[in-house]
Amino acid sequence: MKKLIVIIALLSAAICCNAQEYNKNTVKNITNSFIATLMSGDLQGTLEFFEPNYVADQHDNFLEGRTEQFVAEFLAGSYKKGFYFITPELNRIKSMKVKKTCCDLNKNEIYANVEILMDYGVKYTVKLEMVITENGDMCFIGAVG
């Protein structure tokens, strides 16, 4: 009986240790990893950061596998107080920096505001929204269509 209790206690401890605690730092770390992957030129690698159903619907079906367009549209935003809208040419992004993160699981609000600087001087901020999948992964998600 004592062996069974010890085994159950060890299994419970292992499960607790593997449980992911999500917070602002998690959002920032995932976003910084996405930025590093993108800035290294690994477009295919960036797909790993997106929610799988979103990739299937938007990237695979709607955009017919056009990865560059998929990522560029995900990073689209407005600048000059919303007067101009930009879908960036990815090879012209000079830098990207996380400015703010939010991880309010009670409100289902998970995002990172990222400042993007283009090589021709335009700077804008885009809100990158995230979700937690059924298997516990935190992934980016965007609009479909």
Q: What is the pLDDT of residues 57-88, one digit of tens each?
A: 999 999 999 999 999 999 999 887 767 889 99
DSSP 8-state code for residue 42: -
- What predicted TM-score, i.e. pTM, was given to this entire model? 0.83
Determine the pLDDT at residue 20: 63
Determine the pLDDT at residue 7: 38
Determine the pLDDT at residue 4: 36
Q: In this model, does residue 3 exceed pLDDT 80?
A: no
Determine the pLDDT at residue 9: 38
Cα(44)–Cα(31) distance, integer angstroms: 16
Give the torsion sign (CA, 101, 104, 127, 41): positive
CB 12 within 8 A of CB 4: no
3-state secondary structure of 130: strand
Locus of tokens 């990207």: 96
Per residue in 81-131, pLDDT (tens digit) is: 767 889 999 999 999 999 999 999 989 999 999 999 999 999 999 999 999
H-helix or E-strand spanning residue 9: helix 2-18
| 22-140 CATH pick, 3.10.450.50, 3.40.50.300, 2.40.160.50, 3.20.20.140 | 3.10.450.50
Q: Residue 1: pLDDT band by 50, 70, 90 thresholds? A: very low
